[in-house]
């Protein structure tokens, strides 16, 4: 877990403000749920491996006897837990508040989640997730709205050029069925395919051969991969840039893929292309898997040329709301990788041109000093007051690091004279103040 | 704990944005700490009664043996807890990160805290606190900056007319000493005085007489209260509107009050008056106590004519940072009552004039529909798409409740024609759209 110092916190809030404002403009509504959910709900099998990583809240008022009685069933010690994602709470929220929500509900959630990860580089036990979800729309309009809004967020953050890899869980299943994998074999085959980015197509084939799978499907699938990646073109050159269109999907996949799924994806490709122009930001990736078990249809991942890792992702989870509501409701969500985006923007210019540190003497009258400050604040200037220290340079360096652009000395006699503005950054003197 | 639906969440975020922006303009820097702190730190005696209300986090990986061993010491079950305020985490943060902070550090913290309260009206187990603190400045400049910034926040939220009642813990102590209360009697006398608002001066005197206190100090103090509230003027008429000035303080209190304390307060009164004008928003209240045990000097409470309860408060706690740092550092904080302010603004106009619900037919082409939406969003309009339902009125009522101002029907043939805008609120037709 991390403390955020002023410069980091300011950058995080700036990014959050853009995300919040843009998603809102696209018709999404922000909601908030408590950080704690019922223990039983967090351990109902919907969170995958994250359930094991959840922090549990000790029941209040446990006495010695109650604690001893719980020794053989630790679940008895806790009645609540900290959420490990925002999807389980959203499903619970929707089931609780459905009557007060629009039929098609577009939700924004921007909030921390907690996982008891072992400390390692780049993993935190508390981190912020930014999710948008559309509940109650089974058409590809939902996916299109999620994607267009999220690409707009990236644009506004100065990260133009994002693209989204798209696939559908049902296509993956149909492909594996086509090659003859038995239903019970398919989950482990998907785990191998999911490693394609890391170990390449040779690695995947090797991985499949090592497992206790039927030989014929493995070899037929291997031939298909060879055709796609070697005979046809390299994955880098072609596979990674296939548009999401009916022709492209049919060309890359075996015959007899389910018609409605192909139609859903090609509609989506067409719609996003209509809005985002000819430089199509949607790419068909027949080997995108995504780990979470609750996905039932379209799945997608956000990519950006500046980084190799994904900047977000999501998919359809039409079955999950039904677990809470007892009635199936279609749902699709997109989670933008807030922590990764903040890291990516670390070097961005964080200085506020309209900001000044007033360095006053010990004998500057307090009333007129604060009056001067108030007048500047009123004019939209950010103002920090500092009493002149022995080491002025150290103080000014700190102010520059904290995002201030100017400083001005203020003496008892000069409180209301024009400010003698000086840039904090020697290279920044040409920045406009007013 | 509460779910926040779209209209509530939007109002909360709007209020938070004003608070954040204004405090920042006044030279405060936002920081963030993890929601969890060490269990031992949360139970070190600095949180008063709140310590008993804190939620504890179960240690991970407890086996049956470890649980049984913890039966006689429940503290063994937990290594972390959820913070119950933002002051203990701030003191820990400052001690950890001091080298990277300015000498006079002005902190903003806007974050949830948790208390295991019994469910009752108006009390929540999760609620947001908004604190500003100044660490490293023992002068009254610090109090003045806190107060001026907080009054500005109220103004910008449309709550002009706020005022602040001010006192000093050391004056309270000097007054009680003057009347002859022994040091060990003073805490319980303060508890009685703290009820003045509720039970009046007669009630306080009665309350003191019932206790096992020395008789002479009680009766002398009672005469003083009678002089102040009955002979001199009623508390409502005079006591509640005494400016914070040396003359006023000396007039209301017994002689021989500590000079530096009187000077600190009258400087503060003068400074705030210089900035906020002659309609002085600072009031001297010699019977303001404030519950927390860690206050050591100035204490204050924010009042507003629209409500009887306080909208925030704070004080000096010069000893607390030293508990973490091993070196005393002056500190003063102000906590604005976010949840109360949000309640007060519940009836405010929450509609965004530049917002529209596009109601389309089932056969409207998806690509052109989303293109139309994107063009409006680009122009700064908030857009929600809805497919025309059987019950159109219900859908439009929901959109009005969610803060939308207009709707427009969109047909397959009219996707790019001028919008046929219609107000959602029959009384709102004169609102500007573009």
Please name the residue of chain A whose CA is at the shortest distance from the CA of residue B9. A31
Contact residues, chain B, for A3 at CB < 8 Å: 31-34, 93, 96-97
The chain B residue lying nearest A25, using CA atoms, is B382
pLDDT at B431 over 60: no
- Does A126 sit within 8 Å of B395, measured CB to CB? no
Q: Is B9 on the interface with A (CB under 8 A)?
A: yes
Residue B103 tokens read as 């000498």
Per-residue pLDDT at A216? 95
A34/chain B closest Cα distance in angstroms: 6
| Contact between chains at A12 and B35 (C-beta distance less than 8 A) | no
CB B257 within 8 A of CB B169: no
CB-side exposure of B155: number of CA atoms within 13 Å? 12
Q: Are strands B78-82 and B36-38 parallel, antiparallel or unpaired?
A: antiparallel
CA pair distance A425, B11, nearest whole angstrom: 39
Please answer whether residues A262 and A140 qualify as being in contact, where contact means their C-beta atoms are separated by less than 8 angstroms.
no
* B54, B47 Cβ separation under 8 angstroms: yes
Q: A183: which residues sit within 8 A by CB, 6+ positions away?
A: none
Q: From CA A324, how far away is CA A42, in angstroms rounded? A: 12
Q: CA A235 from chain center: how many Å?
A: 26
Task: Indicate if the pLDDT at residue B371 is higher than 60.
Answer: yes
Contacts of B60 in chain A (CB under 8 A): 55, 116
Nearest-Å Rg of the Cα atoms of chain A is: 27
Distance CA A263, CA A268 (A): 8
Q: Which residue among A9, A97, A369 places its CB closest to the CB of B32?
A: A9
Residues A105 and A116: beta-carbon distance below 8 Å? no
Low-confidence stretches of chain A (pLDDT < 70) are 233-240, 278-280, 347-350, 428-434
Shortest distance, CA A30 to any CA of chain B (angstroms): 6
Pick among A1, A53, A57 to test the B interface (most B CBs inside 10 A): A57
Phi, psi of B123 (to 5 degrees): -115, 135
Q: Nearest chain A residue to B375 by CA: give it.
A: A275
Chains A–B, number of C-beta pairs less than 8 Å apart: 243
Asked if A97 reaches chain B (Cβ–Cβ under 8 Å), the answer is yes
A103 touches chain B (CB under 8 A): yes
Q: Which of B264, B291, B300, B274 is nearest to B163 (CA)?
A: B300
The predicted-structure confidence for A29-81, as pLDDT tens digits, reads as follows: 999 999 999 999 999 888 888 898 999 999 988 888 888 888 888 778 999 99
Task: Let me know how long chain B is.
Answer: 434
Helix (H, G, I), strand (E, B) or coil at B170: helix
Contact criterion met (CB < 8 Å) for A377 and B26: yes
C-beta of residue B333 within 8 angstroms of C-beta of residue B135? no
* A 57-86 residues with CB < 8 A to B: 57-58, 60, 62, 64-65, 67-68, 70-72, 74, 77-78, 80, 82
Contact at CB, B103 and A140, closer than 8 angstroms = no
| Nearest Cα residue in chain A from B55 | A57
Residues linked to residue B129 through DSSP beta bridges, in sequence order: B111
B408, β-bridge pairs: B358
Q: What is the pLDDT of residues B210-259, one digit of tens each?
A: 999 999 999 999 999 988 887 776 445 544 578 899 998 998 999 999 99
Specify which residues B336 forms β-bridges with. Answer: B130, B312
> What confidence tens digit (pLDDT) does each residue in B16-38 have?
999 999 999 999 999 999 999 99
In B, minimum Cα distance to A38 occurs at B1
Residues 6+ apart with CB under 8 A from A297: A168, A169, A170, A261, A264, A315, A316, A318, A332
Give the span between the Cα atoms of A111 and A116, in whole angstroms: 17
**Interface with B, mutate which of A3, A28, A357, A403 (most B CBs under 10 A):** A3
Q: Look at residues B166, B173, B163, B236 and name the one whose alpha carbon lies nearest to residue B201.
A: B236
SS3 content of chain A, % helix, strand, coil (to 5): 45, 20, 35
Closest-CA residue in chain A for B367? A271
- Disruptive mutation site among B6, B83, B393 for chain A (greatest number of A CBs within 10 Å): B6
Please provide residue B308's backbone torsions phi and psi, each rounded to the nearest 5 degrees: -85, -30
Residues above pLDDT 70, as percent of chain B: 95
Cβ of B3 and A27 within 8 Å?
no
Token pair recorded at residue A45 = 């099998």
Q: What is the DSSP string of A62-104?
A: --HHHHHHTTT-GGGGEEEEE-S-SHHHHHHHHHHHGGGS-SS
Six-digit token pair at B79?
């290594």
Please name the residues between 225 and 264 in chain B that touch chain A, using a CB distance below 8 Å: none
**Is A30 in the B-facing interface, judged by CB distances under 8 Å?**
yes
Q: Which pTM does this prediction carry?
A: 0.91
Q: How confident is the model at residue B68 (pLDDT cuts 50, 70, 90)?
A: confident
pLDDT on residue B239: 47
B residues 391..420 contacting A (CB < 8 A): 395, 398-399, 402
Average pLDDT of chain B? Answer: 90
Chain B residue numbers touching A384 (CB-CB < 8 A)? 27, 102, 106
What would you measure as the largest C-alpha separation in chain A, in angstroms? 92
Phi then psi for B180, rounded to 5 degrees?
A: 95, 15
CB contact under 8 A, A141 and B370: yes
Rounded to the nearest angstrom, the minimum Cα separation between B59 and chain A is: 8
Contact A36 B56 (CB under 8 A): no
Smallest CA–CA distance, residue B339 to chain A, in Å, is 15
Three-class DSSP category at B37: strand
Choose among B27, B267, B385: nearest Cβ to A383.
Answer: B27
Label residue A198 exposed, middle or buried (CB < 10 Å: 0-12, 13-18, 19+).
Answer: exposed
The shortest CB-CB distance from B55 to any of A57, A100, A371 is to A57
Interface membership of A338 toward B (CB under 8 Å):
no
* Average pLDDT estimate for B111-124: 86
Distance, C-alpha B322 to centroid of its chain? 24
Q: How confident is the model at residue B350 (pLDDT cuts 50, 70, 90)?
A: low
A interface test, pick of B10, B14, B19, B34 with most A CB neighbours within 10 Å: B34
Question: B327: Cβ–Cβ under 8 A, 6 or more apart, which residues?
Answer: none
Each residue's pLDDT tens digit, A345-399: 876 666 777 899 999 998 898 888 999 999 999 999 999 999 999 999 999 999 9
Looking at beta carbons, which pairs linking B418-424 to residues 24 or more positions away fall under 8 Å? B419/B356, B421/B356, B424/B357, B424/B396, B424/B399, B424/B400
Q: For residue A390, which phi and psi values (nearest 5 degrees)?
A: -65, -45
């Amino acid at each position: 877990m991390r403390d955020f110092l002023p410069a980091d916190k300011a950058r995080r809030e700036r990014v959050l403000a853009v995300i919040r404002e843009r998603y809102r403009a696209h018709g999404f509504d922000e909601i908030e749920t408590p950080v704690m959910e019922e223990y039983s709900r967090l351990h109902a099998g919907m969170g995958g491996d994250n359930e094991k990583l959840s922090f549990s809240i000790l029941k209040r008022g446990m006495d010695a006897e109650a604690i001893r009685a719980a020794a053989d069933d630790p679940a008895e010690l806790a009645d609540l837990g900290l959420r490990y994602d925002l999807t389980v709470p959203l499903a619970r929220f929707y089931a609780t508040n459905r009557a007060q929500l629009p039929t098609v509900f577009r939700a924004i959630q921007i909030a921390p989640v907690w996982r008891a990860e072992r400390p390692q580089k780049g993993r935190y036990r508390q981190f912020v997730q930014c999710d948008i979800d559309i509940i109650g729309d089974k058409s590809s309009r939902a996916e299109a709205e999620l994607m267009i809004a999220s690409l707009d967020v990236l644009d506004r953050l100065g990260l133009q050029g994002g693209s989204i890899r798209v696939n559908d869980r049902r296509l993956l299943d149909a492909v594996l069925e086509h090659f003859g994998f038995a239903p019970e074999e398919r989950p482990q085959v998907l785990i191998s395919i999911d490693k394609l980015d890391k170990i390449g197509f040779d690695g995947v084939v090797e991985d499949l051969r090592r497992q206790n799978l039927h030989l014929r499907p493995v070899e037929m699938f291997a031939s298909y991969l060879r055709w796609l990646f070697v005979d046809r073109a390299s994955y880098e050159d072609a596979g990674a840039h296939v548009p999401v269109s009916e022709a492209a999907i049919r060309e890359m996949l075996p015959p007899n893929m389910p018609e409605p799924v192909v139609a859903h994806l090609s509609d989506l490709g067409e719609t996003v292309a209509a809005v985002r122009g000819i430089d199509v930001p949607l790419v068909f990736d027949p080997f995108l898997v995504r780990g979470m078990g609750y996905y039932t249809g379209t799945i997608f991942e956000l990519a950006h040329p500046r980084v190799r890792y994904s900047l977000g992702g999501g998919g359809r989870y039409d079955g999950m709301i039904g677990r809470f509501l007892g009635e199936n409701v279609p749902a699709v969500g997109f989670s933008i990788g807030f922590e990764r985006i903040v890291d990516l923007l670390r070097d961005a210019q964080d200085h506020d041109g309209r900001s000044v540190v007033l360095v006053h003497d010990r004998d500057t009258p307090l009333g007129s000093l604060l009056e001067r400050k108030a007048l500047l604040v009123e004019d939209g200037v950010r103002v920090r007051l500092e009493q002149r220290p022995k080491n002025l340079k150290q103080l000014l360096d700190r102010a520059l690091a904290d995002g201030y652009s100017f400083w001005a000395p203020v003496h008892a006699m000069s409180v209301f004279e024009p400010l003698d503005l000086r840039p904090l950054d020697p290279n920044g003197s040409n920045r406009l103040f007013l």
